[in-house]
């Protein structure tokens, strides 16, 4: 087993499944009971026959007894598209474990849940090039492929968030659940990127990954802060007041992102790297309804 998923976690994840609040049409029949009525063996309801309905679903027994035509309705079983979109920019390569590692763990965990339930799982990075497209996986035998792909993801894909999301939208026109795992630290802003996802009418989850050090920087003295992505320099003299103000700024930043998402029907979750992945998936995601 790779370092992304432990056997214990895998055994726990096997019992979970991904939940979508929206009705999506899958391409293949899956294990998932759809809220749509369709063709399966599980009966749900009757309705009156209207001309044009498939004659195969008419309940002839009822017709014999009541002399009226009723149509039998069955639950549709279908598969689900699950997309995990990982921000692999340089800023994600900080912390212990790194934010990127944590993002990979999350993606692996959710992807494994999807694979177990025969959902269509696609994990990709924002900076994914068209030549090296991520594979779409289905079935738990694909777990190793998924993990291999995740292992291969390296930080340094420094493209604006909105650009990455746009590429994703173009490449994956289908519907389903999309989980964006990013620190949202984009100087051009995250709002435009998220709006693109809303436009796709997908069930969007935003996991904002943050490290302990970003919340409470253990720094003192006169410092020249160098941005890991664009080399921007900020000169600061660390003081208690400055640190207090910084903490307020971080809190406000997270709150703004949460509010932005909530207002637009997205689910925002703060993923702190000091919270173990098992706990995050098992407790937080279950509470927020992504898995059950």
From the CB of 159, what's the least distance to other proteins, in Å? Answer: 14
DSSP state of 187: T
Q: How far is CA 150 from CA 64, 101, 117, 167, in A?
A: 59, 9, 20, 19
From the CB of 249, what's the least distance to other proteins, in Å? Answer: 5
Binding segment for other proteins among 36-44, 48-56, 87-95, 126-134 (CB under 8 A)? 87-95
Residue 219 as a binder of other proteins (CB under 8 A): the answer is yes
Q: Which of 193, 112, 107 is nearest to 152 (CA)?
A: 107
Spell out, one character per residue from 242 to 271, where the chain touches other proteins: x when CB under 8 A holds, - when not.
Answer: x--xx--xx--x------------------
Q: Which of 31, 57, 27, 56 is nearest to 43 (CA)?
A: 57
From the CB of 270, what's the least distance to other proteins, in Å? Answer: 14
Q: What are phi and psi of 149, to 5 degrees?
A: -65, -45
My answer on whether omega of the bond before 97 falls inside 30° of 0, hence cis, is: yes
The residue from 94, 97, 171, 264 that contacts other proteins (CB under 8 A) is 94
From the CB of 129, what's the least distance to other proteins, in Å? Answer: 23
C-alpha 53, offset from chain centre: 38
The residue from 14, 59, 212, 229 that contacts other proteins (CB under 8 A) is 229
- Give the contacts of 6 (CB within 8 A, at least 6 positions apart): none
DSSP state of 51: T
Q: Which of 177, 187, 152 is nearest to 85 (CA)?
A: 177
The residue from 99, 138, 175, 200 that contacts other proteins (CB under 8 A) is 99
Binding segment for other proteins among 12-20, 24-32, 84-92, 141-149 (CB under 8 A)? 84-92
From the CB of 178, what's the least distance to other proteins, in Å? Answer: 23
The distance between the two most distant Cα atoms of the chain, rounded to a whole number of Å, is 89
The residue from 2, 174, 228, 260 that contacts other proteins (CB under 8 A) is 228
Q: Terminus-to-terminus CA distance in the chain, angstroms?
A: 24
Please count the other Cβ atoms lying within 10 Å of the Cβ belonging to residue 284. 16
Binding segment for other proteins among 28-36, 70-78, 229-237, 261-269 (CB under 8 A)? 229-237
Residue 226 as a binder of other proteins (CB under 8 A): the answer is yes
The residue from 238, 260, 278, 284 that contacts other proteins (CB under 8 A) is 238
Query: Can you tell me the distance from the alpha carbon of 175 to that of 179, in angstroms, rounded to the nearest whole number?
Result: 12
C-alpha 135, offset from chain centre: 16
Restricted to residues 179-198, the positions that interact with other proteins (CB under 8 A) are 183, 185-187
The residue from 232, 255, 259, 274 that contacts other proteins (CB under 8 A) is 232
Residue 235 as a binder of other proteins (CB under 8 A): the answer is yes
Q: What are phi and psi of 7, to 5 degrees?
A: -60, -35
From the CB of 86, what's the least distance to other proteins, in Å? Answer: 15
Residue 156 as a binder of other proteins (CB under 8 A): the answer is no
| Paired residues of 84 in beta bridges | 123, 179
From the CB of 84, what's the least distance to other proteins, in Å? Answer: 21
Footprint on this chain of other proteins (rule: CB under 8 A): 90-94, 99, 183, 185-187, 211, 214, 217, 219-229, 232-242, 245-246, 249-250, 253
């Amino acid at each position: 087993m790779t370092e992304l998923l432990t056997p214990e976690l895998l055994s726990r994840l096997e019992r979970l499944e991904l939940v979508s609040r929206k009705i999506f049409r899958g391409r293949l029949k899956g294990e998932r009971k759809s809220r749509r009525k369709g063709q399966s063996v599980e009966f749900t309801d009757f309705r009156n026959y209207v001309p044009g309905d498939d004659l195969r679903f008419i309940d002839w027994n009822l017709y014999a007894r009541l002399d009226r035509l009723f149509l039998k309705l069955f639950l549709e079983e279908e598969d689900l598209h699950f997309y995990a979109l990982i921000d692999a920019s340089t800023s994600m390569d900080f912390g212990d474990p790194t934010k990127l590692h944590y993002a990979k763990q999350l993606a692996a965990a959710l992807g494994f849940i999807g694979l177990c339930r025969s959902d269509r799982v696609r994990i990709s990075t924002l900076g994914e090039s068209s030549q090296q497209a991520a594979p779409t996986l289905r079935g738990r035998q694909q777990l190793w492929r998924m993990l291999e792909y995740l292992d291969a993801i390296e930080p340094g894909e420094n493209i604006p968030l909105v650009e990455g999301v746009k590429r994703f939208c173009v490449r994956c026109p289908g519907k389903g659940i999309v989980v964006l795992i990013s620190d949202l630290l984009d100087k051009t802003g995250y709002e435009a990127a998220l709006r693109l996802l809303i436009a796709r009418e997908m069930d969007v989850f935003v996991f904002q990954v943050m490290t302990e050090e970003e919340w409470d920087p253990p720094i003192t003295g006169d410092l020249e802060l160098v941005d890991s992505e664009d080399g921007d320099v900020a000169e600061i003299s660390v003081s208690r007041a400055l640190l207090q103000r910084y903490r307020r700024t971080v809190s406000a930043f997270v709150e703004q992102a949460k509010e932005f998402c909530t207002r637009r029907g997205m689910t925002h979750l703060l993923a702190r790297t000091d919270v173990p992945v098992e706990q995050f998936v098992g407790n937080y995601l279950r509470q927020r309804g992504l898995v059950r």
